[in-house]
Amino acid sequence: MSRGCLRVIASTCVGPWGETIEGMANYIESWSQQASAASAATSADMELPLTAELAPVPGFIESSFNPLVYRIIQMHLESGNIHQPEKLAIILASAMGDTATADCASRNLLAGQVHNPLLFYQSVPNSILGYASRQFGFTGRMTALAHQGDGLSALLEIATLYSELPDVGQVLVIGVELHSTRADELLAELSGDAAVMRSCDHAVSLLLERSASVDAPPDRSADQEDEHGCVDAYGSGDMAMVCISEIESRRSENTDGVRRARPLSGNQGLAEVAIAAERMSRGEMTGPAVVYDDRFGGGGYAVTLNR
Amino acid sequence: MNRVVISGIGMMVPSGFGEEAARSSVLAGVHQFRPITRFDTSPFRAGIAAESAFTGSLLELGLRLAADALTSAGLADLSSSALVLGIQGDYNGLQHYWRERIDMGTPQVAAGQAATVASSSRSAAWESESEGAEPEGGRPERLQSEHMAPAAVPAVEFLPAFHMQTIAERYGMSPLGTRLCLNNACIASSNAIGVAYELIRQGRANRVLCGGYSLVTEEMFAKFDSGRAFAKDGRVRAFSANRSGMLLGDGGAMLVLESLEQAVRRGATIHAELLGWGLSCDAFHVCQPHPHGAGMALAIERALQASGLPADQIDYIHAHGTGTPLNDRSETAAIKQALGAAAYRTPVSSTKTVTGHLLEGTGALETALSVLAMKEGILPPTVGFEQPDESCDLDYVPNEPRSARLRRVVNLNASFGGNNTALVLQHPEEVAR
């Protein structure tokens, strides 16, 4: 089996911090500082609305799930990084799913109200991918998945598999979560610690493609133009090569019993990879960087990035 | 690259667990549709489904199917295995969560979370309750009905990944093992089988337990009913000119996939070889299939290419065959596009005419039924077929099972968003050739 790596072509995010990776990094840092300085109750003070103007997506309810996913895809297209739409695979992950749609429909049923056939929680991930596919001509592999803890490992597992297939050129992995009280209750129950996890409306993504063997990465200096002539997503104009070179199963990171604050519940690992990739691309980190991804039940992954 | 075989199967059809239940209903062509008893259907237009006698929770069904698959494969547990599920969580968990809060009279509407619905279903009743006031005319009668009380399923069981975690822990899976949970609606479990196949083929796992399952719940029933998706005459008549829609059903399947090399080494029974699979998107519509079946045809072509097979080597196509006017026409067009002239020589049938639509579980059950059909040498019939349709002009094995030598079978599934899967299976006798 070849030991190729997944090259990070670009990353995007949307959340209360706006649409920049650096904004997301600052958000995580400031929330973590507050959470560690005070009680869990302070997390309520950090509940911020989305600052980005999300274009509505036709159909369904006034949930931000679909607009978040659509905006993420739109940003990658605007940056010119998606080269062959027909060979783009998309993997959409969420721990809690579209809680707004699910909760609304369930309450309506109990209240004996007329049902809107489009209030269809389990169809939401497929439907937004179907909508985007129509808009942008994506005919490749579309997969939606659920996860516990962080979605990073599940997303990278499937991205690695799909990137080996002849009909796949690039893989876009997207993690999306919404804020809800039910989600926070369940996260507290599953993690055993309400202080370290919280839900918030946001989405994070990585655009990946298969690259050469990790043992012999392509010789491409930071000032060379990418083979596709694309401009990087960070605006610096020189696409540094950042690869996810190793994805290793491991026992839980928290062997000392101290849990890190995870303000982007569900997408913390994905966000940290996006942040590390951007900083490496800018030359602010030389790497390698290791991002830990936890899942409930004790297991997790260590994801290594190299520049 | 490794060859991938199926070495264990646990399945449930509406008439019960195991091969015999499937043989006497699906292969014999005896439909399982009856009035629903699990919840009160009086508020709805329809009231028919292929409801089983199973009284456990959805998670209990998953645990049972996993145990049956492991037993069938001669395995004691999931050690050294990966787990890939294609499921949705238990809606009774979500309903229970909200029932508790509404019954307490303090519905907790999350801050920042839209409690509104698209204009047509926005109702004064819920808004009144949200404000703590009793809706005009009192609380809706259905809230007071004991018949409507769902089983007290914990809210956490609404999370699909909780099922994955529970099954993994119950059957001794290593915390470091790969576990994935797909939830892309009606292709979820066939996509899960495809991912399991890739894990083994690419050498990232030696053995994978995979599959999916579903039970008819009030929430899902209400949505399809509201969308007028159900067959008006209480029967699924796939590919027949007088077809009028789908019906839901109970069941599912879990399969043990492993490398051929490992299965032979440990002397496992090989039920079938999985030769390849395809996954595609229509790029056409949020909820309607492509009218010419372009996406489904692409999935079939990818699956045949991955399998290294020409179209005329396929002996049977197990269709998605939901019984809706749009699906069956589109699927027929896809089969003709992908198989060319061979399409007219290839039998096609829909077992949803017996089992109903199992949503996330449909791909796994229909894969298991495809394997059973190959083993028995029987083409399962399309039950309830009455009138030929100009746009559906293939051999649909109408109403009666037929004996046939089935060496290679394609199983098709499609879902919302225009996603399509095709799985190519091969009879175990062909594996050694």
Runs of H (alpha helix) within chain A:
21-37, 65-78, 99-110, 124-136, 152-163, 181-191, 268-281
**Rounded Cα–Cα distance for residues A8 and A305 (Å):** 9
Give me the residue from B180, B218, B220 closest to A145, CB to CB. Answer: B180
Q: Distance (Å, rounded) from C-alpha B319 to C-alpha B353?
A: 11
Whole-number Å distance between alpha carbons of B112 and B114:
6
pTM above 0.80, yes or no: yes
Mutation to test the B interface, candidates A43, A48, A96, A115, most B Cβ within 10 Å: A115
Picking from B156, B219, B302, the nearest residue to A106 by CB comes out as B219
- The confidence band for A239, taking pLDDT boundaries of 50, 70 and 90, is very low
CA nearest to B166 within chain A: A297
Say if CB A240 and CB A283 are below 8 A apart: yes
Task: Kindly write down the DSSP assignment for every residue of B66-83, as one continuous string.
Answer: HHHHHHHTT-SS-TT-EE
Report the DSSP pairing between strands B16-17 and B48-49. unpaired
A window 178-237, beta carbon within 8 A of B? 178-182, 185-186, 189-190, 201
- Cross-chain Cβ contact A111/B143 below 8 Å: yes
Nearest CB to B175 within list A142, A201, A299: A299
Domain ranges of chain B: 4-92+155-431
Q: Assess whether B357 carries a catalytic annotation.
A: yes
Domain architecture of chain A: domains with CATH: 4-306 (3.40.47.10)
**For an interface test with A, which of B117, B173, B206, B304 has the most A Cβ atoms less than 10 Å from its Cβ?**
B117
DSSP, collapsed to helix, strand or coil, labels residue B199 as helix
Q: What is the assigned CATH class of domain B4-92+155-431?
A: alpha beta
Q: Does A213 score more than 90 pLDDT?
A: no
What are the angstrom distances between the C-alpha of B254 and each of A61, A208, B7, B209, B261?
Answer: 34, 31, 11, 7, 21
Q: Indicate left, alpha or beta for B29 from its phi (over 0: left) and psi (-120 to 50: alpha).
A: left
Whether the per-residue pLDDT at A121 is higher than 80: the answer is no
A160-185: average pLDDT:
94
Q: Check pLDDT > 90 for residue A297.
A: no
> B180 to chain A: which residues are within 8 Å by CB?
145, 154, 157-158
Inform me whether the C-beta atom of residue B88 falls under 8 Å from chain A C-beta atoms: yes
Least confident residue range of A125-134, A184-193, B34-43, B271-280? A184-193
Q: How far apart are the first and last CA of chain A?
A: 23
Q: Which of A275, A300, A270, A295 is nearest to A287 (CA)?
A: A275
What is chain A's mean pLDDT, rounded?
Answer: 80
How confident is residue A298, by pLDDT bands cut at 50, 70 and 90? low
What local confidence, expressed as pLDDT, does residue A217 receive? 40
Distance CA B165, CA B157 (A): 11
Per-residue pLDDT of chain B (433 residues; tens, 9 = 90+): 999 999 999 999 999 999 999 999 999 999 999 999 999 999 999 999 999 999 999 999 999 999 999 999 999 999 999 999 999 999 999 999 999 888 766 544 332 232 332 222 222 222 222 333 333 333 333 333 344 445 689 999 999 999 999 999 999 998 888 999 999 999 999 999 999 999 999 999 999 999 999 999 999 999 999 989 999 999 999 999 999 999 999 999 999 999 999 999 999 999 999 999 999 999 888 888 999 999 999 999 999 999 999 999 999 999 999 999 999 999 999 999 999 999 999 999 999 999 999 999 999 999 999 999 999 999 999 999 999 999 999 999 999 999 999 999 999 999 988 999 999 999 999 987 6
Segment A206-235 shows an average pLDDT of 49
Residue B199 β-bridge partners: none
Over residues A124-144, mean pLDDT: 92
pLDDT (0 to 100) of residue A193: 66
Distances (CA, A) of B223 to A120, B51, B118, B211, B358: 7, 17, 14, 24, 15
Å from B307 to nearest chain A CA? Answer: 13
Task: Output the six-digit token pair for A43.
Answer: 């997390």
Cβ–Cβ of B112/A102 closer than 8 Å? no
Residue A245 pLDDT level (bands cut at 50, 70, 90) = confident
Rg (Cα) of chain B, in Å, rounded?
Answer: 22
pLDDT band of residue A37 (cuts 50, 70, 90) is low
- A24, A57 contact by CB (below 8 A): no
Phi and psi angles of residue B201, each rounded to the nearest 5 degrees, phi first: -60, -40
Please report the pLDDT score of residue B147 as a whole number: 40
B292 is catalytic: no
* A105 confidence band (pLDDT: 50, 70, 90): confident
Q: Which helix (H) or strand (E) holds B168?
A: helix B160-170
Reply yes or no on whether the pLDDT at A42 is more than 60: no
